[in-house]
Structure 1
Amino acid sequence: MRTQRDRIRHAIGFEAIALILITLVLSQLFGFDMAKIGVLGVIFSVIATFWNYAYNLLFDHAMLKYCGQLQKQTRHRIIHALGFELSLLVITLPMLAWWMDIGLWQALIMDLGLVVFYLVYAYAYNLAYDKVFPLPETTHA
């Protein structure tokens, strides 16, 4: 399993890169004030960082329990990314609607766009992270 330090590095790197990309894209695409998007991005980033840490820990335990190892195949990575993004959507949707003063339907459309971005981003980031910081060989005892 990954160490606590490695999990923290993973989560912070993931959120920092995403925050920069999302703030720029949302302010340009939807015409929202960059500062308002930036503050929301920081709040969501903090929420997502803590959830990322917890979710990855839970996912690794599930991998060990059901697969007997931590090495992810493509299907595991897809399940990992979908599960993370859908659970985060449930957490963030009401906050997005309130902060941006938009309806839940608009917030859902906007959030689904973010989910699509993050699905691709999460897959690519985690694949790259595993290549740069490979897992130690692990077997289920």
Structure 2
Amino acid sequence: MQGTKRKVVQALLYELCAMGFVSPAIALAFDRSMSYSGILAVMLSSIAMSWNMLFNALFERWEARQPSRERTLRRRLLHSLGFEGGLTLLLVPVMAWWLEISLVAALFTDIGLLAFFFVYAFVFQWCFDRLFGVPDSARAVPGCA
């Protein structure tokens, strides 16, 4: 699977699975209803999905210009760090507003989510690549070593 179809399927699966983890965790951590935390999870997921599409497009554009296109452990870690770092900047203000907490409290909340999502992003993308194959940007160029 390649191109736009790959990006859409990857983002949708990633976010649907993530909402299944995040919504109950927020409900428990903040003593909120599942509907309240579910709305927040949908908002966070919508932002994350948009960021996912943009970040992956930029990452793959960068990746395609690299001498080696192999998705090494280092490259996968770089991908996860870049994605989660940018997402933190986007989500902290939304969480602070919705949960009616300070930006500092929202940052600490996001750090907890970040710890989970750092591992989740790595494992999810590895599994996704195993199931659907890697994108063309990660394939070796014939004749190049």
Q: TM-score, normalised by structure 2?
A: 0.89
Partner of 1:139: 141
Identity across aligned pairs (percent)?
Answer: 30
Q: CA deviation at 1:68?
A: 4.3
The alignment status of 1:43 with 2:21, answered yes or no, reads no
Q: CA deviation at 1:78?
A: 0.6
The alignment status of 1:83 with 2:85, answered yes or no, reads no
Q: Once the two structures are superposed, what CA deviation does each residue of 1:89-108 show, in whole Å capped at 9, x if it has no partner?
A: 10111111011001111111
Which stretches in structure 2 are left out of the alignment for 5+ residues? Answer: none
How does 1:61-140 map onto structure 2 within 5 Å? 61-69=61-69, 71-135=70-134, 136=136, 137-139=139-141
Which stretches in structure 1 are left out of the alignment for 5+ residues? Answer: none
Q: Does 28-37 or 42-51 show the bigger shift?
A: 28-37
Partner of 2:15: 15
Q: CA deviation at 1:6?
A: 1.2
Q: TM-score, normalised by structure 1?
A: 0.91
Paired with 1:24 and 1:128, the residues of 2 have a C-alpha distance of 24
Paired with 2:54 and 2:77, the residues of 1 have a C-alpha distance of 18
Q: CA deviation at 1:138?
A: 4.8
Structure 2 SS opposite 1:66: coil
Aligned length, in residue pairs: 140
Pairwise CA RMSD of aligned residues?
A: 1.8
Paired with 2:126 and 2:79, the residues of 1 have a C-alpha distance of 12
Paired with 1:77 and 1:58, the residues of 2 have a C-alpha distance of 14
Q: Once the two structures are superposed, what CA deviation does each residue of 1:116-139 show, in whole Å capped at 9, x if it has no partner?
A: 111000000000000000125452
Q: CA deviation at 1:2?
A: 2.8
Paired with 1:62 and 1:53, the residues of 2 have a C-alpha distance of 14
